[in-house]
Amino acid sequence: MVERVDSGDLKQANAGIWSGYVYSKPEQLGLPYQDVEIPVANGIAPAWRFDPPASVEASGVWAIHVHGMGGKRAGTLRGIPVASRLGLTSLVVSFRNDGDAPPSYDGRYSLGQGEWRDVEAGINYAISNGAERIVLFGWSLGASIALQTAALSPNSPRLTGMVLDAPVFDWRTTLEANAKAAGLPLPLVHLGFTILRSKALRWVTGLAEPIRLDSLDWLARATELDKPVLVLHGEKDDTTPVEASKKAASLRPDLVKLVEFESVGHSLEWNIDSEKWERSVEEWFYGLPLAGSSPEQAAAQS
């Protein structure tokens, strides 16, 4: 049964794809929002800002929502309702090469290596508009971007924690899994890693800079994690294997909490069990140091 058509003419469609997007437009949430503009390196990146409704007391915490590779901002709208109930102001950002934000000079994804700067621009916007603390919500590639932002942002002390859905903790693990699913031989995959890392072979990839895969490996860098992380990941994810999330949780049980979802594909955790997804976020958030407290309580605890 087709419940609604958000765009186009269904009768004229010849083909389609399955998507995890439940909302395609911010107004479908029935929550107050506004379109805002975030200054970034090559221009202006559009974003959506959701302020808590009048019935909810604002917490002083902002949530920055970051979508995945090949996706759009609308993919993160599933995380807005729970953030709104928690009193968070939500900023749904775009980033370079996603079709909304200005492209990078090379027009290529850099697996979080460069995109984090656009998320940092969103954080600067949030702080200039009254944010006291920040929670990052990252989906797939967006999770990798969130991890880079937490590590590199000058505003890192303001970051309270991260909610990561189907995260990429290590691109080698993810790319190897996708290559295996596609039937590509492992030696060819490792050759690809060499090309990505090579400055001399940038003419092959079109990248302005080589990809430093080691710096994007948060399993090898697990000791450097210093923010609480909630991971929401499906057991049947064949795009970003849950094994990497399990390893991250085993390496840093003091910071990483993993909530697994049964029989679900990539980034479909909310779709399969939205109640569990949102309950997990709520319980994690209220367990954060300072996050669930008022500004006065936070000052007293610091």
pLDDT in tens, 44-53: 999 999 999 8
Structure tokens at 102: 């200005």
Q: Determine which of 172-186, 246-260, 276-290 has the lowest per-residue pLDDT on average.
A: 172-186
In three-state secondary structure terms, 179 is: helix
**Which residues of the chain form beta strands (DSSP E)?**
33-40, 43-50, 61-66, 89-93, 133-139, 159-165, 229-234, 256-261
CA gap 255, 218 in Å, rounded: 13
- Cβ–Cβ under 8 Å, residues 252 and 288: no
What average pLDDT score do residues 226-239 get? 95
Q: Determine which of 77-91, 120-134, 142-156, 194-208 has the lowest per-residue pLDDT on average.
A: 194-208
**Domains along the chain with CATH numbers:** 24-169+222-294 (3.40.50.1820)
CA gap 195, 142 in Å, rounded: 23
With a CB cutoff of 8 Å and minimum separation 6, the contacts of 276 are: 259, 261
Q: Determine which of 59-68, 270-279, 290-299 has the lowest per-residue pLDDT on average.
A: 290-299
Looking at residue 11, what is its pLDDT?
A: 57
In three-state secondary structure terms, 160 is: strand
Q: Has residue 195 got a pLDDT over 90?
A: no
- Cβ–Cβ under 8 Å, residues 278 and 232: no
Confidence tier at 294 by pLDDT (50, 70, 90):
very low
What average pLDDT score do residues 95-122 get? 94
Looking at residue 167, what is its pLDDT?
A: 97
Looking at residue 122, what is its pLDDT?
A: 98
Confidence tier at 148 by pLDDT (50, 70, 90):
very high
Q: Determine which of 183-192, 194-203, 290-299 has the lowest per-residue pLDDT on average.
A: 290-299
What average pLDDT score do residues 100-112 get? 91
Instruction: Report CA-CA distances (Å) from 224 to 22, 54, 117.
Output: 35, 39, 20
Q: Compute the half-sphere exposure of residue 101: CA atoms within 13 Å on the CB side of its CA.
A: 35
Q: Has residue 296 got a pLDDT over 50?
A: no
Q: Has residue 99 got a pLDDT over 60?
A: yes
CA gap 38, 52 in Å, rounded: 20
CA-CA-CA-CA dihedral for 254, 258, 259, 263, to nearest 10: -160
Instruction: Report CA-CA distances (Å) from 82 to 89, 178, 264, 285, 299.
Output: 11, 31, 21, 10, 25
